Amino acid sequence: MASDEVKVIGAWASPFVMRPRIALNLKSVSYEFLQETFGSKSELLLKSNPVHKKIPVLIHADKPVCESNIIVEYVDETWSTSGPSMLPSNPYDRAIARFWAAYIDEKWFPSLKSILQAEGEEEKKAVLAQVEEGTALLEKAFIDCSKGKPFFNGEHVGYLDIAFGCFLGWLRVTELAAGHKVLDEAKTPSLSKWAEQFCNDPAVKPVMPDTATLAEFAKKIFAKPAA
């Protein structure tokens, strides 16, 4: 597949943009990465995603596909004969993977973001407690889903690994800013080991942002007044 046939509109710091990039890497699909400028939206983005007007967008043979988890499923189905399957073969296991992916986006990540926006120590402690409660649930989910194997999906990175793992860069930045470790080897031993393996996976390593660079970028974002 030539690179000009597959394009990803996104930004290097976006965890959601990491998802299609990891999926394409897992399937060994070459693609062109079209970087959006922070604070503005290109004509191509607005044309390709007129409903939500946000990244990421996958363009395949001039057809846009939007929403990060939907893109991952599209990549998995379109290049089904290339590389490992990202969703479990069992329908129940697929449903569970989608459930936890939705939980991460709707509950866990918003709580994590709130740590950087918290005002005062009491608010920060309350938000940290929420995040740790959610992380404990994900620790149990990992044990149940992985069945003793390295990843949520078993022997290799899959849909739920991508859904959660894309936030690990921002998790590290948040831990540094809060002076508190969320993925703690004592409290979440399985997830701590998983995170290290995920970040070192050949499909992930090239697109995982450097923590120091991401921390500098975070300062710029959170220094700006809320819209």
Q: What pLDDT sits at residue 220?
A: 83
pTM (two decimals): 0.93
Helix (H) / strand (E) containing 8: strand 6-10
Residue range(s) in the chain whose domain bears CATH number 1.20.1050.10? 91-222
Name the phi and psi angles at 181, rounded to 5: -90, 120
CATH topology of domain 91-222: Glutathione S-transferase Yfyf (Class Pi); Chain A, domain 2 (1.20.1050)
Quick: pLDDT tens for 126-137: 999 999 999 999
CA distance 38 to 21: 19
Architecture of domain 6-79: 3-Layer(aba) Sandwich (3.40)
7, β-bridge pairs = 32, 59
59, β-bridge pairs = 7, 64
Quick: pLDDT tens for 81-127: 998 999 999 999 999 999 999 999 999 999 999 998 888 889 989 99
| Whether the Cβ atoms of residue 17 and residue 10 lie closer than 8 Å to each other | yes
Residue range(s) in the chain whose domain bears CATH number 3.40.30.10? 6-79
Residue-averaged pLDDT of the chain: 94
Q: Which residues of the chain have pLDDT under 50?
A: 1-3, 225-227
With a CB cutoff of 8 Å and minimum separation 6, the contacts of 37 are: none
Measured between alpha carbons, how far is residue 219 from residues 86, 197, 216 in Å?
A: 34, 28, 5
